[in-house]
C-alpha cells in the first residue's frame, strides 16, 4: 500500500492519536516529504479545530424531511440494482 493511501486510511486515527507509534512515525515522515498529503492532513486538522466546540445547527423540519427522503431514495435505488 502506498504511503499516500496509508495516510488517507489512517488519517482519522492519526489525528485522534489512536495509532501505533511506529506507524505514526512513518506517516509523520511521509507528511513531511509529500506536499499533497501535507495539504490533506493540515486542512483536515484545521477543519476539525474550527468546528470543535461549535454548537450543532438545528435543521428546519422541512429540510430534515427532504434530506431523509433523499437518502432513503438513494439507498433504495442502490440496493434495488444489486444482484
Give me 48's grid cell. Answer: 476539525
Q: Which three cell numbers stand for residue 70?
A: 433523499
Tell which residue, 7, 43, 39, has the closest CA to residue 25.
Answer: 7
Of 42, 37, 39, 40, nearest to 26 by C-alpha is 37
Q: 5 falls in which pLDDT band (50, 70, 90)? A: very high
pLDDT in the model for residue 26: 95
Q: At what angle do helices 21-33 and 35-51 cross, to 10 degrees?
A: 110
How many domains, the chain? 1
Structure confidence at residue 83 as a pLDDT band (50, 70, 90): low
For 16-51, write each residue's pLDDT tens digit: 999 999 999 999 999 999 999 999 999 999 999 888
% of the chain with per-residue pLDDT over 70: 95
Please state whether the predicted TM-score (pTM) of the whole model is above 0.75: no
Count Cβ atoms within 10 A of the Cβ of residue 26 and give its class: 0-12 exposed, 13-18 middle, 19 or more buried: middle
What domain range is 7 assigned to?
Answer: 3-80
What is the structure's pLDDT at 51? Answer: 86
Amino acid at each position: 500500500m502506498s504511503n499516500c493511501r496509508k495516510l488517507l486510511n489512517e488519517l482519522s486515527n492519526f489525528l485522534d492519536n489512536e495509532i501505533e507509534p511506529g506507524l505514526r512515525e512513518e506517516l509523520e515522515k511521509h507528511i513531511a516529504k509529500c506536499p499533497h498529503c501535507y495539504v490533506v492532513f493540515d486542512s483536515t486538522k484545521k477543519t476539525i479545530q474550527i468546528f470543535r466546540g461549535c454548537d450543532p445547527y438545528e435543521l428546519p423540519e422541512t429540510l430534515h424531511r427532504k434530506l431523509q427522503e433523499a437518502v432513503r431514495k438513494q439507498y433504495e435505488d442502490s440496493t434495488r440494482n444489486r444482484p
